[in-house]
């Protein structure tokens, strides 16, 4: 592409200047320096991209699955070849520690493609009764993605969409557009047919313009519940399909037989990873009231290992939040909880000592959090863990389910069977037992105000399919 990464959109197989002169600064949250400017695309740009995707759809939808798989394999290889560059960009864009960028931000993106390819053959026709069931692609898909796992969230959407035979218009977060530009370069180098993959940069207005385009059949959105409602309202006018992966306030239940010395440090990781900027973060730690003091002592000691500082230093486990606005929201949440009566065990709302510049928030643990507090109910999206006591197992499950959200959850017990029994009673889209690692073959998504639809594996692939029944007559 031309000089000035982020200054052009990728539409119909070529880099195109935006019809809008407006630009959005990309700010490094650690240094607070502007590292680039990205275009704030116009309705005309959205129209061009949607039209290109529609024009390409008929041919791409009829392309053999083997050819679609081959394209995604080339894209995967391209990501791996530019992994260091991508990791460095993500760290600069949103402050993720470089070690986590390399391992998770890039590793998950590659894993998304592999998980899609593992199930792509399941698109074959099925026979049910007297009918052949054919999985037709939904059509033109708009993918609107967030800044917290920018590349992972992009590939979790567009890999299955492309494998299913859909064409795509990507609108990445305006906070993290630069890694998406690299991805567009990779798609171009991989020989993607014009119009099959398109990328339009911009903010909320650009996303809204894309969702409203008549050429679009489906929108896949990851972001806040408020943003999801706005997307659903626009899509609903024309009854377009909407897959929404939204907010969370997930519960981590520590049963009374758990080994706290092993469990609590791991539970902190389930809340603090990526500076707590994880929609599925297990930010409500539900513990036996009789063991609260023990939990608190272990948690405070374990929090000391979550070193905070320059995200380019591999020794640091926490970097800044994505921007100053996000930092202020988290600070207000901590301060509000303290005003409502929560006990601050460590961390707090102040700018961390020794870090006068940057959107940093210290790893924070609050105790004596009650269901009446905002911090119990509202997504914090920062390195903040709330400790909540329970009387018995039934009470723990009730507390976990007392939420407007239902995205993730966790259970810890010496007995895996007991943990599973509790997990089955939790109203959420996913439950992690005893710190199990992420399984990209399993469906990911929420219930209640955490969204609609699923990502990952077979379930994620089927979101982009429209089953068609071809029914044969009864033989005489």
pLDDT, average across residues 189-198: 98
pLDDT of residue 6: 79
Catalytic residue among 174, 215, 245, 379: 245
pLDDT of residue 121: 82
Topology alike, domains 8-246+450-469 and 251-440: no
pLDDT, average across residues 204-220: 98
Q: What is the signed CA dihedral for 215, 221, 225, 227, rounded to 10 degrees? A: -50
A 10 A CB-CB count for 325 gives: 10
d(CA 39, CA 80): 27
Q: Which of 2-6, 195-199, 385-389, 458-462 has the lowest mean pLDDT?
A: 2-6
Q: What is the pLDDT of residues 256-299, one digit of tens each?
A: 999 999 999 999 999 999 999 999 999 999 999 999 999 999 99
pLDDT of residue 476: 54
Buried b (16+ CB within 10 A) or exposed e, 443-466: bbbbebbbbbbbbbbbbbbbbbbb
197 and 225 Cβ atoms separated by less than 8 Å = no
Q: pTM for the complete prediction?
A: 0.96
Class of domain 8-246+450-469: alpha beta
In terms of Cβ atoms closer than 10 Å to its own Cβ (0-12, 13-18, 19+), residue 259 is: exposed
pLDDT of residue 1: 39
Q: What is the pLDDT of residues 297-356, one digit of tens each?
A: 999 999 999 999 999 999 999 999 999 999 999 999 999 999 999 999 999 999 999 999
Nearest CA to 407 out of 285, 283, 280, 284 is that of: 280
Residue 279: active-site member: yes
Nearest CA to 300 out of 355, 362, 391 is that of: 362
Nearest CA to 249 out of 382, 412, 149, 95 is that of: 382
* Whether the predicted pLDDT of 4 surpasses 70: no
Host H or E run for residue 433: strand 432-433
Residue 166: active-site member: no
* Whether the predicted pLDDT of 475 surpasses 50: yes
d(CA 163, CA 169): 15
Q: What is the pLDDT of residues 99-149, one digit of tens each?
A: 999 999 999 999 999 999 999 988 888 999 999 999 999 999 999 999 999
At 429, list the tokens. Answer: 């889209």
* Whether the predicted pLDDT of 183 surpasses 50: yes
| Dihedral sign (CA 28, 29, 32, 38) | positive
Q: Which fold has domain 251-440?
A: Aldehyde Dehydrogenase; Chain A, domain 2 (3.40.309)
d(CA 59, CA 267): 49
Buried b (16+ CB within 10 A) or exposed e, 345-382: bbbbbebbeebeebbbbbbbbbbbbeeebebbebbbbb
| Dihedral sign (CA 277, 346, 324, 204) | positive
pLDDT, average across residues 148-173: 98
Host H or E run for residue 11: strand 8-11
Catalytic residue among 96, 279, 346, 465: 279
Query: In angstroms, what CA-CA distances link 227 with 118, 144, 219, 245?
Result: 32, 10, 13, 10
Q: What is the pLDDT of residues 11-35, one digit of tens each?
A: 999 999 998 999 999 999 999 999 9
263 and 355 Cβ atoms separated by less than 8 Å = no
| Dihedral sign (CA 335, 338, 340, 342) | positive
pLDDT of residue 327: 98
For the chain, give every domain's residue range: 8-246+450-469, 251-440
């Amino acid at each position: 592409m031309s000089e000035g990464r982020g200054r052009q959109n990728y539409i119909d197989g070529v880099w195109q200047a935006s019809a809008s002169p407006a630009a959005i600064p990309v700010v490094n949250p650690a240094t607070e320096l502007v590292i680039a400017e990205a275009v704030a695309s116009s309705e005309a740009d959205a129209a061009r991209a949607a039209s290109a995707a529609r024009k390409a759809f008929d041919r791409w939808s009829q392309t053999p699955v083997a050819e679609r798989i081959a394209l995604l394999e080339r894209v995967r290889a391209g990501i791996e070849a530019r992994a260091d560059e991508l990791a460095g960009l993500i760290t600069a864009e949103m402050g993720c520690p470089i070690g986590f960028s390399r391992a998770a931000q890039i590793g998950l993106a590659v894993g998304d493609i592999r998980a899609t390819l593992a199930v792509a053959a399941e698109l074959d026709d099925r026979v049910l009764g007297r009918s052949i069931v054919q999985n037709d692609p939904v059509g033109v898909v708009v993918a609107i993605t967030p800044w917290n796992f920018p590349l992972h969230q992009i590939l979790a959407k567009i890999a299955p969409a492309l494998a299913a035979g859909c064409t795509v218009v990507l609108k990445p977060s305006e906070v993290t557009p630069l890694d998406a530009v690299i991805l567009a370069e990779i798609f171009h180098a991989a020989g993607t047919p014009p119009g099959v993959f398109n990328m339009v940069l911009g903010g909320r207005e650009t996303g809204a313009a894309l969702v409203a385009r008549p050429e679009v059949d489906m929108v896949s959105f990851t972001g806040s519940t408020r943003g999801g409602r706005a997307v659903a309202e626009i899509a609903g006018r024309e009854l377009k399909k909407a897959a929404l992966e939204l907010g969370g306030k997930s519960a981590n239940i520590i049963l009374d037989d758990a080994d706290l010395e092993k469990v609590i440090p791991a539970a902190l990781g389930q809340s603090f990873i990526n500076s707590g900027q994880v929609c599925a973060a297990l930010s409500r730690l539900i513990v036996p009231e009789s063991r609260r003091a023990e939990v608190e002592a272990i948690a405070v000691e374990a929090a000391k290992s979550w070193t905070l500082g320059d995200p380019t230093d591999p020794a640091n486990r926490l970097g800044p939040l994505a921007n100053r606005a996000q930092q202020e929201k988290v600070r207000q949440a901590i301060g509000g909880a303290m005003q409502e009566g929560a006990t601050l065990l460590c961390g707090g709302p102040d700018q961390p000592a020794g870090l006068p510049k940057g959107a940093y928030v210290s790893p924070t643990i609050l105790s004596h959090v009650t269901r009446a507090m905002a911090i119990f109910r509202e997504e914090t999206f920062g390195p903040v863990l709330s400790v909540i006591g329970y009387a018995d197992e039934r009470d723990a499950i009730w507390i976990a389910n007392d939420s407007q959200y239902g995205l993730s959850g966790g259970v810890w017990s010496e007995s895996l069977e007991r943990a599973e029994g509790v997990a089955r009673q939790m109203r959420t889209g996913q439950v992690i037992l005893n710190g199990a690692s992420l399984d990209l073959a399993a469906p990911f998504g929420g219930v209640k105000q955490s969204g609609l639809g699923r990502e990952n594996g077979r379930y994620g692939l089927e979101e982009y399919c429209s089953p068609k029944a071809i029914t044969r007559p009864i033989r005489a």
